[in-house]
Amino acid sequence: QVQLQESGPGLVKPSQTLSLTCIVSGGSISSGGYYWSWIRQHPGKGLEWIGYIYYSGSPSYYNPSLKSRVTISADTSKNQFSLKLSSVTAADTAVYYCARGTTSSTWFGPWGQGILVTVSS
Amino acid sequence: QSVLTQPPSVSAAPGQKVTISCSGSSSNIGNNYVCWYQQLPGTAPKLLIYDNNKRPSGIPERFSGSKSGTSATLGITGLQTGDEADYYCGTWDSGLSTGGVFGGGTKLTVL
């Protein structure tokens, strides 16, 4: 079955760019029918959708509150997709999850195990 | 502030039934499918219910979902201590803030 795994630095300095990668195994991101997504969870808080992308790169959708700072891209040759969040502050400290969404409905699954990213100098 | 509204906590005894509500608006729940996620302590969320009332493979029949208008409900029967978790509703919002939206989460305690 499809599995997702986040990777990237666990510590990012304020004003820098947070960069994470999600490696997909057990299935191809090019198979179609799915959006490849990023979702985050601030410590002790609820879930916040960041955005998602189709394997071809289009369409992509971003949370309006983060849109000016977010870029999600897909690399079909490596079967992975990535998140870049620029100009980070302490408010961006969270567990970041990658997940598979569907083009035909509203659910996300499966999810990666999550990676805690702390923004601190 | 989450777009969808859930009670912060619910509790019930083992073997009992509990329901968790999720309230939204016409731009989200009213015109889109609702799903539910279970997040056990220290783990990633797991899809529990999709398309309002469907269960993914491996999810017990004890879990059910329903939707009416701009609200949705998750039901859990035959509560077990292993059901203690945070539960989140989710859907798509087609309004001013287009995108995926979630409820604030409900902590289920099995007494």
Tell me the pLDDT tens digit for each residue of A3-32. Answer: 999 999 999 999 999 999 999 999 999 988
- Identify the pLDDT of residue B98: 80
Q: Which of A32, A16, A97 is nearest to B39 (CA)?
A: A97
Task: Dump pLDDT digits (tens) for A43-53.
Answer: 999 999 999 99
- Identify the pLDDT of residue A104: 84
Q: Which residue of A has its CA nearest to B50?
A: A107
- Taking the C-alpha atoms of residue B86 and residue B24, their distance in angstroms, rounded to an integer, is 19
Kindly tell me if the per-residue pLDDT of A65 is higher than 80.
yes
Kindly tell me if the per-residue pLDDT of B97 is higher than 80.
no
- To the nearest whole Å, the CA of A101 is away from the closest chain B CA by 10
B34 three-state secondary structure: coil
CB proximity A52 to B under 8 Å: yes
B94 three-state secondary structure: coil
Q: Where are the beta strands (DSSP E) in A26-79?
A: 34-41, 47-53, 60-62, 70-75
- Identify the pLDDT of residue A38: 97
Q: Using the 8-state DSSP alphabet, how is residue A30 labeled?
A: G
Between A62-66, B73-77, B97-101, the lowest mean confidence (pLDDT) is in B97-101
Q: Are the C-beta atoms of residues B24 and B111 closer than 8 Å to each other?
A: no
- Identify the pLDDT of residue A56: 85
The percentage of chain A sitting over the pLDDT mark of 70, rounded to a whole number, equals 100
- For residue B103, the chain A residues in CB contact (below 8 A) are 46
Cβ burial A59-72 (10 Å sphere, 16+ → b, else e): ebbbbeebeeebbb
Kindly tell me if the per-residue pLDDT of A85 is higher than 80.
yes
Helix (H) or strand (E) holding A117: strand A115-119
CB contact under 8 A, A49 and B105: no
Other residues' Cβ atoms within 10 Å of the Cβ of residue B82 = 8
Q: Using the 8-state DSSP alphabet, how is residue B31 labeled?
A: G
Task: Dump pLDDT digits (tens) for B57-91.
Answer: 999 999 999 999 999 999 999 999 999 999 999 99
CB contact under 8 A, B32 and A106: yes
- Identify the pLDDT of residue A32: 85
- Alpha helices for B10-109 (secondary structure H): none
Kindly tell me if the per-residue pLDDT of A72 is higher than 80.
yes
- Taking the C-alpha atoms of residue B104 and residue B111, their distance in angstroms, rounded to an integer, is 22
- Taking the C-alpha atoms of residue B39 and residue B106, their distance in angstroms, rounded to an integer, is 10
Q: Are the C-beta atoms of residues B95 and B25 closer than 8 Å to each other?
A: yes
Scan for tokens 């203690």, then name that residue: B84
- For residue A113, the chain B residues in CB contact (below 8 A) are 43-44
- Taking the C-alpha atoms of residue A118 and residue A91, their distance in angstroms, rounded to an integer, is 9
Task: Dump pLDDT digits (tens) for B22-65.
Answer: 999 999 999 999 999 999 999 999 999 999 999 999 999 999 99
CB proximity B111 to A under 8 Å: no
Considering only residues 55 to 84 of chain B, which have any Cβ-Cβ distance to chain A shorter than 8 Å?
56
- Taking the C-alpha atoms of residue B47 and residue B88, their distance in angstroms, rounded to an integer, is 10
